Amino acid sequence: MKGLHPCRGVLLAAAVLILSGCPLPIPPLGYSSESRTNLTDRVPEFIVKGETTRERVLLGLGVPDSHSPDGRWFAYRSAQHTGGIVFVVAAGSGAAGAGVMGYRERLLVVRFDANAVVVDATLEERICPRGVAGFGNEGGESSPCLQIPDPASAGALVDSDAGLPAAVYEQAVWASGQIDPLSAAASESRRTGRILVTDLGVLAAADGDGRSGSAEPSRYWIPYRQIARAGLAQVPAGAVCAINLKDGQIYSAAILRRSLPLTWRLDGEATRGLVERISRALVDQAKLPDIPNADAR
């Protein structure tokens, strides 16, 4: 059941619940054909960090539900229907219903290093209630609780419960405005957090609740490949990654030449080393020669 606008679904559900009579229990339906069944409640024993290869993971679990274009991470997901309850109303020639379905969701994410060896594997399991509503031939169901990473997104949000990438090369503390040239002088309420340069990308995390009263993520994951996609081809070796912060949150990542003023805003050896590391990682990712920078600071 797809295609129902959320607002319409909520209104419909509310109306149906108010007007409805008896609830209709739905027995557990198990796995649908859109879910794999070969995930257990823990990371498979054959997956050993630093030993297991990508081909072994494929031979053991099959094709992942999602993966990065470069194969640096695989995501496997399953959803098992565990039962639910629906309130059904028949009116005239039509019928409407709304209720809640329970699903046991599992998400296994396996990350690989450049040699296709596992660096990290995490399995998350949740009991996820999903609201459902339908009227006639239209219907909708709320989204799964465990979302698989989208390989096409410009930057995937790291779930607050997920672990960090395995290899963290460097990290630095940031405060809002420290890096962003646009807000460097205008950060009245300074927030702090960490930037970690990992084997797979850059992770930024805000201290505290990290929400700033907005919908911005408190942790933001920017894989190198996605940064590279933004324009490394146009900006060859000597480029740096610029992470723009706003109100303590990363809102964009870009690649800029070192000659641009942006890098002059960097403050402190730690941050400078961080950007050097990002630059090297980006060059490694794109397999471009690391030409000495002619625009020395």
Task: Single out the residue of 180, 175, 157 nearest to residue 248, CA to CA.
Answer: 175
Interacting stretch for other proteins, rule CB under 8 A, among 27-35, 159-167, 174-182, 271-279? Answer: 27-35
User: Is 71 a binder of other proteins (CB under 8 A)?
Assistant: yes
Interacting stretch for other proteins, rule CB under 8 A, among 25-33, 101-109, 167-175, 223-231? Answer: 25-33
Interacting stretch for other proteins, rule CB under 8 A, among 36-44, 164-172, 218-226, 254-262? Answer: 36-44
Question: Residues 197 to 226: which contact other proteins by CB under 8 A?
Answer: none
How many residues lie near other proteins (CB under 8 A)?
27
| Exposure on the CB side of residue 278, measured as CA atoms within 13 A | 34
Contacts of 42 (CB under 8 A, 6+ apart): 123
Choose, by CB under 8 A, the member of 6, 25, 30, 268 that binds other proteins: 30
Interacting stretch for other proteins, rule CB under 8 A, among 64-72, 125-133, 158-166, 185-193? Answer: 64-72
**To the nearest whole angstrom, how small is the minimum distance from the Cβ of residue 289 to other proteins?**
22
The residue among 38 and 214 lying less far from other proteins, judged by its C-beta, is 38
The residue among 61 and 253 lying less far from other proteins, judged by its C-beta, is 61
User: Is 115 a binder of other proteins (CB under 8 A)?
Assistant: no
User: Is 67 a binder of other proteins (CB under 8 A)?
Assistant: yes
Choose, by CB under 8 A, the member of 62, 163, 208, 231 that binds other proteins: 62
**To the nearest whole angstrom, how small is the minimum distance from the Cβ of residue 288 to other proteins?**
20
Choose, by CB under 8 A, the member of 10, 17, 20, 65 that binds other proteins: 65
Interacting stretch for other proteins, rule CB under 8 A, among 15-23, 63-71, 126-134, 259-267? Answer: 63-71
Our measurement of the distance from residue 63's CA atom to the centroid of its chain's CA atoms, rounded to an integer in Å, reads 20
Per the rule left: phi > 0, alpha: psi between -120 and 50, beta: everything else, 98 is: beta
| CA dihedral over 284, 288, 291, 297, signed as positive or negative | negative
Rounded to whole angstroms, how far apart are CA atoms 36 and 66?
13
φ and ψ of 58, to 5 deg:
-65, -40
**To the nearest whole angstrom, how small is the minimum distance from the Cβ of residue 11 to other proteins?**
26
Question: What are 193's two structure tokens?
Answer: 């957090």
Sort 105 into a burial class: Cβ within 10 Å, 0-12 / 13-18 / 19+.
buried
The residue among 71 and 231 lying less far from other proteins, judged by its C-beta, is 71
User: Is 22 a binder of other proteins (CB under 8 A)?
Assistant: no
**To the nearest whole angstrom, how small is the minimum distance from the Cβ of residue 189 to other proteins?**
37
User: Is 34 a binder of other proteins (CB under 8 A)?
Assistant: yes
Task: Single out the residue of 115, 123, 83 nearest to residue 102, CA to CA.
Answer: 83
Choose, by CB under 8 A, the member of 89, 148, 166, 184 that binds other proteins: 148
Residues 267 and 234 sit within 8 Å (Cβ to Cβ): no
| Positions in the binding site for other proteins (CB under 8 A) | 30-31, 33-38, 54-55, 58-67, 71, 116, 148-152
